[in-house]
């Protein structure tokens, strides 16, 4: 059974007196454990598709099922709970909260779920050790390097043990070395833990790293290619 299934998806946005069709009749299936990139130029529909999978938006037409949940058949409140428990987001700008410590930022999804403080802190400490940032729990974002902030953001995306991790242009603001570090980290998490990653990107470094490349243009699927060798 597919972890993610999009069937006949269309997404239309109003633009003044006109309409923009961001996604057109898209069918896509992603299984558990995939390391997939949605590739294409700006305006190809990559981010829109991630937003639909992540329940940040609803399709104009078609059906979306993620982790057994038919997203277009549930209420807005149920969608919010679904995002909190089933989706891990990695944003370009990290989106860390400046007044919170690194640990508090990472455990924020668990706090929203009402998880006991001792339990969530233990999970964060374990994650920080695994991600190579042990000892930074009490620092605030401005006291961390860019690479350290990035790993805190990754920890936050993982802490609730989501069904899928969505990353929208994750290397857009990074130099080539930090991009490689992030991709290596995600590859390791995918291979060691079987975590499912779906990226949007037009960065060749990300595309070379993927094991599956779904190419898009003007909201349509152009090619869907399995890659045997994942290289950075």
Q: What is the CATH number of the domain that holds 185?
A: 3.40.50.300
CA 13 – CA 114 distance, rounded (Å): 35
> In a structure prediction context, what are the per-residue pLDDT tens digits for the chain, which is 232 residues long?
689 999 999 999 988 888 989 999 999 999 999 999 999 998 999 999 999 999 999 999 999 999 999 999 999 999 999 999 999 999 878 899 999 999 999 999 999 999 999 999 999 999 999 898 999 999 999 999 988 998 999 999 999 999 999 999 888 877 888 888 888 888 999 999 899 999 999 888 889 889 999 999 999 999 999 886 565 5
Whether residue 232 lies inside any domain: the answer is: no
**Number of neighbouring beta carbons within 10 Å of residue 168:** 19
Whether residue 210 lies inside any domain: the answer is: yes
Whether residue 231 lies inside any domain: the answer is: no
Whether residue 62 lies inside any domain: the answer is: yes
**Number of neighbouring beta carbons within 10 Å of residue 153:** 26
Element (H, E) at 190: helix 176-193
Whether residue 168 lies inside any domain: the answer is: yes
Q: Which domain holds residue 101?
A: 4-225
CA 128 – CA 19 distance, rounded (Å): 45
CA 210 – CA 193 distance, rounded (Å): 16
Number of domains in the chain: 1
Whether residue 111 lies inside any domain: the answer is: yes
């Amino acid at each position: 059974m597919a972890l993610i299934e999009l069937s006949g998806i269309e997404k239309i946005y109003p633009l003044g007196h006109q309409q923009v069709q961001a996604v057109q009749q898209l069918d896509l299936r992603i299984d558990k454990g995939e390391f997939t990139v949605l590739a294409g130029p700006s305006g190809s529909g990559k981010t829109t598709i991630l937003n639909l999978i992540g329940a940040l938006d609803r399709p104009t037409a078609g059906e979306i099922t993620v982790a057994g949940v038919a997203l277009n058949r549930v209420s807005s409140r149920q969608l919010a709970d679904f995002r909190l428990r089933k989706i891990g987001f990695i944003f370009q700008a990290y989106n860390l909260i400046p007044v919170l410590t690194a640990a508090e930022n990472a455990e924020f999804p668990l706090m929203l779920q009402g998880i006991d403080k001792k339990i969530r802190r233990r999970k964060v400490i374990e994650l920080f050790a695994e991600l190579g940032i042990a000892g930074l729990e009490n620092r605030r974002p401005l006291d961390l390097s860019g690479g350290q902030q990035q790993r805190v953001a990754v920890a936050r995306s993982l802490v609730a043990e989501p069904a899928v991790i969505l990353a929208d242009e994750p290397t857009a603001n990074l130099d080539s070395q930090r991009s490689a570090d992030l991709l290596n980290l995600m590859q390791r998490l995918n291979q060691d833990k079987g975590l499912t990653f779906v990226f949007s990107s037009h960065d060749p470094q990300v595309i070379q790293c993927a094991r599956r490349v779904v190419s898009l243009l003007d909201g349509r699927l152009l090619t869907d290619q399995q890659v045997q060798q994942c290289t950075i």
